[in-house]
Amino acid sequence: MNHGIFDVLVFGLGAVMAGVLLLLAMVHLELGPTVRLAGRKRWLLAAALGSGVLAFVIKLLIIVTLINFPQYTIAPLLASNVPAPRAAPAPVMSGRPHYVWLALDKRYRSSAAAATQPGYRWQALPEQAPMPPHNPATPAKVALGRQLFFDPALSRDGTVSCASCHDVDGMAGTDGRATSRGIDGHIGNRNAPTVWNAAFQSLLFWDGRAASLEEQARGPLLNPLEMGMPSPAAVEERVRSRMQYRDAFAVAFGAAAPITLDRIVEAIAAYERTLITPDSAYDRFVRGEPGALTPAQLRGMALFQSFGCITCHHGPNFSAASVFDDSTPRRIFPANPTPYEQRYDLISDGGANGTAGRGVWRVPSLRNVALTGPWLHNGAVTELAEVVRIMAGAQLGRAGHYLLWSEQEGRLREIDQPAPSEAEVADIVAFLHALSSERLVAGRRAADTLPTRGEGG
């Protein structure tokens, strides 16, 4: 028996016994002789009066117990009436929010509390990418674009296609290299971004110099280090000289429409707008499947918000440079000095700045990021956990103790921003894996079972 309740019972029993003795004394010594009662009549009077006193004492004891020991009395009764949480409730289709209990380790409750504050709404990726009015997609145009995307004949020496750097099946839309290989063995100076979900980005390329998929598709065709075609006319003549393309263009654009570079890139862009991945565990979770994320991924999701990763990587496509966003699509990187910038040569390329130093870069999407390594603009980092550490220090300032001097205000402040622990890094990495398309995960596993590609592949 609980010690608290036992103490109350002992106290109550003593109070009842004292009351009974007092009542008997009053009846036998005062009330009985006064009204001239004797024998059994005195006992009946004592019982009648005693029942009222006993009831009053019991009520007092109940009130005292409820007030002083609610954890043993009221709380268990309330808990027994709370329905058990359901593992996977059906989504509410009326549009009203529904809530699901999610178990969370005590060590991470502070991060979870910060992450669940009002203001940020987690969103799933749409099932279809937006199309520009000037380039509506048709099945014929998409099929033509896919054919062009995989055709190395669009390069000067016939060895490099769009798919050479953007393997949509086996490498999650990248090539798995630090920096990409073009014609004549030329090596570029930047990592190939994934083409998956590029349709949701408002800016393309690492420096954000292209504002549409059509504009982006022109770049590699004419870049001397990539596909190396000498001019737009040369691209048009290369395509026009192939009978299969003449027929396909007539079906996609009309028999009277000439083959031009504009239509070539429109077809490629139409195909790329079909490359979207709304099938991640994260998307299933947000759409109403609580069991889609593991406990580690849930903790990582909480840390992702409470640490401030959502400042740049927010919205359905986890990027400020997306069609869902009207904030600043580029950021300075690295924003804060850390040892990582020398270790991984992060400031020799200034991105949109055009000069070495702290560069200005488009915010990349984190969709499928666990499948697209090596990472960062120069492909210098080979572990996703290391990317998390770099971003925590370089972008979020989570690298230790800082002295912040404001010349304008004339103030010196001390800031403690401890680096994330290894457990926190592991949980964030687990959450980033939850952003991976199940289809692309299967494709990557299949690719990993194939023999290693040679350097000339």
Closest CA to 207 of 363, 380, 366, 362: 362
What SS3 state is found at 278? coil
Scored b (16 or more CB within 10 A) or e, 141-180 reads: bbbbbbbbbebeebbbeebbbbbbbbbbebbbbbbbbbbb
Please provide the distance, in angstroms rounded to a whole number, between the alpha carbons at the two ends of the chain: 75
Q: Which residues pair with 280 in a beta bridge?
A: 437
Q: d(Cα 388, Cα 28) in Å, to the nearest integer? A: 86
CA 374 – CA 345 distance, rounded (Å): 14
Q: Could you tell me where the DSSP H helices lie in 29-132?
A: 32-35, 40-68, 74-80, 109-115
User: Are 160 and 311 a contacting pair, CB within 8 Å?
Assistant: no
For residue 334, say if its preceding peptide bond is cis, omega within 30 degrees of 0: yes
Please give the C-alpha separations between residue 394 and each of 340, 390, 419, 424, 431, in angstroms, as whole numbers.
8, 6, 11, 17, 20
Contact 42, 23 (CB under 8 A): no
Tell me the HSE value of 163 on the side-chain side, using a 13 A CA sphere: 17
What is the identity of the amino acid at 218? R
SS3 413: strand
Torsion, Cα of 208, 201, 152, 241 (10° steps): -100
Catalytic residue (one of 226, 236, 266, 341): 226
Peptide bond preceding 118 in cis form (omega within 30 of 0): no
Give the integer Cα–Cα distance in Å for 150 and 166. 10
| Contact assessment for residue 259 and residue 240, using Cβ atoms and an 8 Å cutoff | yes
CA 341 to chain centre: 26
Tokens at 374, concatenated: 């090596």
Look up 226 and say whether it is catalytic.
Answer: yes
Given a contact cutoff of 8 angstroms between Cβ atoms, the answer to whether 415 and 404 are in contact is: yes
Number of residues in the chain? 457
Looking at beta carbons, which pairs linking 69-72 to residues 24 or more positions away fall under 8 Å?
Answer: 69/4, 69/5, 69/8, 72/2, 72/4, 72/5
What is the token pair recorded at 275? 């490359």
Q: Is the dihedral of CA 45, 51, 52, 54 positive or negative?
A: positive
Return the active site residues.
226
